Amino acid sequence: MKVNQVEMIMSAVRPEQYPDNGFPEFALAGRSNVGKSSFINKMIGRKSLARTSSKPGKTQTLNFYKIEEQLFFVDVPGYGYAKVSKSERGKWGSMIETYLIEREQLRAVIQIVDLRHPPSVDDCIMYDFLGDYNIPTIIVATKADKIPKGKWEKHKKIVRDTLHLRAGDPIILFSSEKGMGMDEAWKEIESRM
Ligand code: GDP
């Protein structure tokens, strides 16, 4: 998809605040600093529309980006930040769980992991949670530009095996730096709209 029009339409913490026009939604999940904002910005062709919203102390909200009057990207706060307090983490959990479990418009979660390293415990917990609720998941393994091409397949296999990737869940090698994987990611998204 060639994206011309994007609007950050709202930040929501409660279901009453979600948009109500019925467009399909794709939620973006990933541990803090994994490259989630960079992925969103690359996919929508903006330099910095999606901010790094996942730092501790910043408001933890679901951010809805309306794309081409057709779909939403829903940016979910990054997980796995040890520094946020327990009560903050509790709030994070219930807000996100409510959205992921109950949202009818949700077509898939795009879970971002770092191709360089095996998925973390938090990555696996997130992926297992999505499986428990039968939420289709597209794994995007980003920062591929940081390892040599000859090692991509080996790293991809480690990601696949560590997560115990389910049949039907694709894994896409990505680089926000190089634009690699964009077409494949859009194809996966469009096929689920
Ligand atoms: P977020 O916290 O998950 O939203 O992460 P950011 O998108 O802010 O990225 C965290 C850091 O990783 C930043 O310094 C980015 O420039 C860098 N980064 C993100 N994606 C890539 C990538 O594909 N390649 C490289 N080389 N760096 C990346």
Going from N- to C-terminal start, the domains of the chain cover: 6-190
Assess whether pLDDT exceeds 50 at residue 8. Answer: yes
Which amino acid is present at 101?
A: I
Query: CATH for 6-190, among 3.40.718.10, 3.40.640.10, 3.40.50.300, 3.40.228.10?
Result: 3.40.50.300
Which amino acid is present at 193?
A: M
Residue ranges in 35-137 assigned as alpha helix (H)? 36-44, 86-102, 121-132
Q: 98 or 106, which is more confident? A: 106
- What is the distance between the alpha carbons of residues 138 and 100, in angstroms, rounded to a whole number? 14
> ipTM of the assembly?
0.99
Q: Other CB atoms closer than 10 Å to residue 42's CB: what's the count?
A: 23
> How close is the Cα of 19 to the center of ligand 1, in Å?
28
Which residues does ligand 1 sit against, CB inside 6 Å? 30, 32-38, 52, 54, 78, 142-143, 145-146, 175-177
Q: Which residue in 39, 190, 15, 166 sits closest to 102, CA to CA? A: 15
- pLDDT digits 0-9 by tens, 25-84: 999 999 988 999 999 999 998 877 766 544 554 557 899 999 999 999 999 988 765 455
Round the average pLDDT of the chain to a whole number and report it. Answer: 89
- pLDDT digits 0-9 by tens, 127-140: 999 999 999 999 99
> How close is the Cα of 38 to the center of ligand 1, in Å?
5
Across-strand partners of 173? 141
Q: Do the beta carbons of residue 75 and residue 28 sit within 8 Å?
A: yes
Residue whose CA lies nearest to ligand 1 atom number 18? 35
Q: Do the beta carbons of residue 12 and residue 53 sit within 8 Å?
A: no
pLDDT band at 6 (very low <50, low <70, confident <90, very high): confident
> How close is the Cα of 81 to the center of ligand 1, in Å?
16
> How close is the Cα of 112 to the center of ligand 1, in Å?
11
Residue whose CA lies nearest to ligand 1 atom number 9? 35
